[in-house]
Amino acid sequence: MRWVHCACPCEVAQNKQFWDDQKKAEKRIRINRLLKLSSAIEDIKSMTFENFRMRNGSGPAYQEVTSAVQDFETRGKLGVFIFGETGNGKSHITAAGGNELIAKGHAVIFITEKDLFKRLEATRNFNNKESFGEIMGACLEADLLIWDDFMSSQKLSADEKDWIFQITNGRERANKPIWMTSNITPEEFESGEIAFRLDDKARTWWRIIGNMNCALNLATNLRKIKAMARALGISVEEYEKRLQGE
């Protein structure tokens, strides 16, 4: 024999709606809290697929990110690694994908490598507003971590190597993806040298790449093209045609 609570269907529905609303409110708070960790958040919010300028060579990276957005629920820890020349739209593509996922209710962090390391290092100061645990916890907790300018530091300290391992290993264990952008060249990507920058056995590098779909963005440096077009007093389109010999 056991006691059960009797309730009419309308009361059950009201209770369910209450708890659903509570969960949604908690998720909104969590998303907003994690978003505060993002670098240059106002600039990132303005980057969308609609205002992304598709250029020669950017197709594979664009397709990989849009596919990752579409299949986000089923991809698990499978991330994205976009590499290529600086200023060619890698950050815009990944930020646009992140904004799409935020709109769908996912918690996303977009952070540059230098900003991440600077903030983790600053936690050594007892007056710092952010604690090491808060930053590291957010990087591990977010549904998606977008890591911009990966390997931008020519020389990594022992602490920085350890932070990279902690985050990549932690997210792998939690079955959560990382999207990375990097300015490394195709030659560096293929070489053994780049792999050993992270540790003496290259384990961290192959752990990262093993959990990623990699795409080379062959588009040229748009920042450079815009600057040259302004200097010559012509449009970006005209300057690009000159580069293509048209």
In 3D space, the residue among 67, 62, 92, 90 whose CA is nearest the CA of residue 78 turns out to be 67
Separation of alpha carbons 49 and 95, rounded Å? 9
Residue 110 has phi, psi (to 5 degrees) of -115, 115
pLDDT in tens, 85-120: 998 999 999 999 999 998 898 889 999 999 999 989
Percent of the chain with pLDDT over 90: 46
What does pTM read for this prediction?
0.83
Give the pair of three-digit tokens for residue 133: 């645990």
Please check the confidence at residue 15 and state whether its pLDDT lies above 80: no
In 3D space, the residue among 57, 31, 67, 38 whose CA is nearest the CA of residue 148 turns out to be 38
The answer for residues whose C-beta is within 8 angstroms of residue 55's C-beta and 6 or more apart is 88, 89, 219, 220, 222, 240
Please check the confidence at residue 51 and state whether its pLDDT lies above 60: yes
In 3D space, the residue among 40, 144, 143 whose CA is nearest the CA of residue 92 turns out to be 40
Percent of the chain with pLDDT over 70: 84
Mean pLDDT of 139-159: 90
The more confidently predicted of residues 178 and 39 is: 178
